[in-house]
Amino acid sequence: MPGEGGFAEAGLALPLSLPLPLPSGPAASGPRGNGLRRRGAGPSLPGLTPAAEAAPPGHLGHRARMRQRLLQAGPEAVLDHELLEMVLFLALPRRDTKPLARALLARFGSFADAVAAPPAELRAVEGLGEAGMAALKTVQAAALRLARGALRQGVLLDRWDRLIDYLTIQLARERVEQLHVLYLDARNHLIADEVAGRGTVNHTPVYPRELVRRALELQATALILVHNHPSGDPTPSRADIEMTAEVKAAAALLGLVLHDHVIIGNGRHVSLRQAGLL
């Protein structure tokens, strides 16, 4: 019966599994006659590029364009989320980092706040990982080194604006209070910036004798106290004013000078000397 046994229309029986004859001759092979052309591959047309040699995948082309814009137009030509992308793709070269950059901005609000965020909070960002966290913290460390380097090049009191920039980078986004002491030599050059205490969101214990003892160890002749208010409001409290007076008195007993006490807030600062409180 037709349809059972592989009958052709002419009535001849043909085995269904017979291999088809392969073409022979130059047309069967590639340009060198070394075999069959890959299925679906036709002759190349002038002006067309194979898909594998076309433009790179979307996120790779995007990276190249951002790099060119940064190098040619400068950092102001790059938006916050793009700068975060560029930092992250140095640590995560095989990933599209745009979603991660946008997640960081959504959580922290700005490039600066994302870079300065504590590791514990960065760990909560899905997909960031240790490599991404380390990349962000490297940027923060580099910013601090640059700012500190500028302070070491001359008289600290003559570089007040740079000092405030440095202190803002260091302390404005800290979640708890920190007390820093800047130790100066006889020419008011910076010897050291040291953390003298960490506390809670609104209090840091201070021991004036320890600050004076450390100044003598460093052969410092003057110091500047600095601490932050995590609330963002740098208005000095009564405790801040009283503690400043105690440190000033302890320093004076040994011939040391307390130049100032600076309180860092979010985008603002207060100098107790300029405020007439020292």
Sheet containing strand 190-198, strands side by side: 190-198, 178-184, 222-228, 257-264, 269-271
Enter the CATH code of domain 155-271. 3.40.140.10
Q: Report pLDDT for 202.
A: 64
Return all residues near 64 (Cβ < 8 A) that are at least 6 apart.
56
Query: pTM surpassing 0.85?
Result: no
Tell me: pLDDT of 40 over 50.
no
Rounded mean pLDDT of 122-128? 93
Rounded mean pLDDT of 187-192? 94
If 0-12 CB within 10 Å is exposed, 13-18 middle and 19+ buried, where does residue 188 land? middle
Q: Report pLDDT for 156.
A: 87
Q: Which of 5-14, 65-74, 94-103, 255-264 has the highest mean pLDDT?
A: 255-264
Tell me: pLDDT of 38 over 90.
no
C-beta separation of 53 from 61 below 8 A: no
Identify which has the larger pLDDT, 22 or 79.
Answer: 79
- Helix, strand and coil content of the chain, in percent to the nearest 5, comes to 45, 15, 45
Q: Report pLDDT for 61.
A: 76
Torsion of CA 271, 222, 229, 146, to 10 degrees: 100
Rounded mean pLDDT of 76-103? 91
Rounded mean pLDDT of 232-248? 95
Task: Determine how β-strand 269-271 pairs with β-strand 178-184.
Answer: unpaired
Residue 15 DSSP SS3:
coil
Which residues is 222 bridged to in the sheet?
A: 184, 257
Average per-residue pLDDT in the chain? Answer: 82
Rounded mean pLDDT of 47-69? 62
Give the residue among 203, 198, 200 at the shortest CA–CA distance from 242.
Answer: 203
Q: For residue 59, what pLDDT band results from cuts at 50, 70 and 90?
A: low
Q: For residue 133, what pLDDT band results from cuts at 50, 70 and 90?
A: very high
Residue 120 phi, psi (nearest 5): -60, -35
